[in-house]
Amino acid sequence: MQFEWSYFFSLFSMPAFWLACWTVVKLSALAWLIGLVLGFGLASAKQADSRWLRLPASTYVWFFRSVPLLVLLIFVYNLPQLLPGSGGLLSQPFYAGLIALVLTEAAYMAEIHRGGLLSVAKGQREAARALGISSLGTQRLIVVPQAFRIALPTLTNEYVTIVKLTSLVSVISLTELLLVGQRLYAQNFLVLETLGAVAVYYVLIVTLFGWGLQYLERHLDLSRRKPDTLDDPAVAALRTTLPTLANRAASVQAPGTPDALRLSNLHKHYGNHHVLKGIDLTVKPGEVVSIIGPSGSGKTSLIRTINGLERIDQGEIVLFGEHFIQAGDRPDNRRQRDGVRRIGMVFQNFNLFPHRTILDNVQLAPRYHRLDSRETLRAEALALLDKVGLLAHADKYPHQLSGGQQQRVAIARALAMKPDIMLFDEPTSALDPELVGDVLAVIRALAREGMTLLIVTHEMDFAMSISDRVLFMEDGHVQLDAAPDAIRHGEHERVRRFIGLETPA
């Protein structure tokens, strides 16, 4: 039988097909958008700590991924037989088809979203928490934008799947493309010509929307954005407009100011592993304390308990004379969040927010906490970038900077919250040797300004030159708490050997 080309082309001017095409577009777009939102809610619930959220979400995903869409379509369309009150809505094929598609797609999209959420590094959440940002704020500002970028290619593919699945809705007599085609070839028996036109319509829909979603992917692809560095005249002109940063450190060293930190009988376990074994420590305002010791001695665990990133099993932490963290506290409570805002944290692996420029990284937390007007906070953020030598790179993204530059941005981000204490967790261990000096220079400048600093480091010369006191930790205990001179000229053989000093004759 000869293919009827004239009939085939005539189908593209037929109003019934274009109306059916519009129905497919509405049905697929609504199913994708609603499924996108519901799927994210399910993915978040599956990752929740509460089993009352986790179990229902997991059950939903398991069930609706198991039930064939064709069965679900027929069931939903005939549901008014069991629930007569739903007849007004479900007796309409469009809404019955939409609900069935959403029920199915929400389950599939939940797993896509969960993959995106799991791909966001744990350090991103920790960085947000160290800045005093709530769990909801962390999701909204940091986790979701990154997870969406990661999941978008798969979500785009899922839209293509939904467009093709709309053809199944013909079983409940919704006038979509396949049903229009079936009615035509039932009359004229030109099956190939009719189905060929139906296929072209589907390809057209998928192509147009695919282009749109691919454009969105390209727009969100940070690797396509060109580094934008200000030249020297532009930096000089901008520098003249920046405010002078107040030395906050001096305000917490006034006579009568209580100890900056007091740790009492601190214990921390990871399962059966006892990491911190009764740590007692007092830090006065303006002191620089370096914490050294072999790997696994508890240094990082100690510094992470100080700003609430790790819960303590026993003991108490007092911040400027006020109760801050106690064993058994509910995590992320209001008292902790308020205290965390007074403590800046710089991580070993930077933990900058990759989807934001370095200027946005610095001003994000102050804006979130509404510390001042947006214009003032932007000016202060630029001044901090100037302080760490990165004003020219304000509009770059973290991946466009070297490791040493990223760590200096992380210091500026922590300083933007105007903290009273700064914590540094191995700030140079992830850097190439030639990049270490710039970061250490920034920390030295903070020490000269009188900032209270606690530094976990393996840079022994740096620790001995900058510190008022050096803590040597081993096996979960503070084995020595002494001034650098006392270590150099004393008889602490184990510590001297670790640092690389010869034992005095």
What contacts 155, CB < 8 A, 6 or more positions away? 32, 36, 109, 112, 213
- Helix (DSSP H) and strand (DSSP E) numbers for the chain: 21, 10
State whether residue 83 is helix, strand or coil.
coil
The single-letter DSSP state of residue 92 is S
244-256 pLDDT per residue, tens:
877 666 556 666 6
What contacts 261, CB < 8 A, 6 or more positions away? 281, 282, 283, 306, 317, 318, 319, 421, 452, 454
pLDDT for res 147: 93
pLDDT for res 327: 85
Residue 424, pLDDT > 90, answer yes
136-167 pLDDT per residue, tens:
899 999 999 999 999 999 999 999 999 999 98
471-482 pLDDT per residue, tens:
999 999 999 898
C-alpha 83/C-alpha 12 separation (Å) is 41
Handedness of CA 353, 355, 357, 361 (dihedral sign): negative
| Residue 456 located in a structural domain | no
Handedness of CA 94, 95, 98, 100 (dihedral sign): negative
Task: Locate the DSSP E strands across 120-212.
Answer: none
C-alpha 298/C-alpha 306 separation (Å) is 13
Q: Tabulate helix, strand, coil % of the chain (nearest 5).
A: 60, 10, 30
194-245 pLDDT per residue, tens:
888 889 999 999 998 889 888 888 888 887 777 778 877 888 888 888 888 7
| Residue 225 located in a structural domain | no
| Residue 76 located in a structural domain | yes
| Residue 441 located in a structural domain | no
Q: For the full predicted model, state whether its pTM sits above 0.75.
A: yes
C-alpha 48/C-alpha 492 separation (Å) is 49
- 69 contacts 168 by C-beta, under 8 angstroms: yes
What contacts 188, CB < 8 A, 6 or more positions away? 7, 194
Which token pair is 56?
A: 């229902």
Which token pair is 32?
A: 């994708």
- If you average pLDDT over residues 8-35, what whole number do you get? 91
pLDDT band at 111 (very low <50, low <70, confident <90, very high): very high
Can you tell me which residue has the tokens 């409940």?
172
Report strand pairing: 452-456 vs 421-425: parallel
| Mean pLDDT, the chain, integer | 88
- 353 contacts 361 by C-beta, under 8 angstroms: yes
pLDDT for res 255: 67
CATH number for 110: 1.10.3720.10
355-370 pLDDT per residue, tens:
999 999 999 999 999 9
| Residue 150 located in a structural domain | yes
Count of alpha carbons within 13 angstroms of residue 391, beta-carbon side: 21
Which token pair is 409?
A: 């941005």
Phi, psi of 264 (to 5 degrees): -125, 120
C-alpha 62/C-alpha 86 separation (Å) is 25
pLDDT band at 3 (very low <50, low <70, confident <90, very high): confident
CA–CA distances in Å: residue 269 to residues 278, 292, 465: 11, 20, 33
C-alpha 417/C-alpha 367 separation (Å) is 10
What is the secondary structure of 74-86 as a DSSP string? HHHHTGGGT-GGG
State whether residue 259 is helix, strand or coil.
coil
What contacts 364, CB < 8 A, 6 or more positions away? 131, 141, 353, 356, 413
Structural domain of 164: 5-220
Helix (H) or strand (E) holding 26: helix 15-46
Top-confidence residue, 205 or 490: 205
| Residue 250 located in a structural domain | no
- 205 contacts 163 by C-beta, under 8 angstroms: yes
State whether residue 10 is helix, strand or coil.
helix
- 242 contacts 235 by C-beta, under 8 angstroms: no
| Residue 366 located in a structural domain | no
C-alpha 346/C-alpha 422 separation (Å) is 8
Closest CA to 407 of 381, 440, 433: 440
- 28 contacts 166 by C-beta, under 8 angstroms: yes
What domain count does the chain have?
A: 1
- 261 contacts 339 by C-beta, under 8 angstroms: no
What contacts 430, CB < 8 A, 6 or more positions away? 348, 349, 350, 403, 407
pLDDT band at 266 (very low <50, low <70, confident <90, very high): very high
Q: Which residues pair with 289 in a beta bridge?
A: 454, 469
| Residue 70 located in a structural domain | yes
pLDDT for res 498: 85
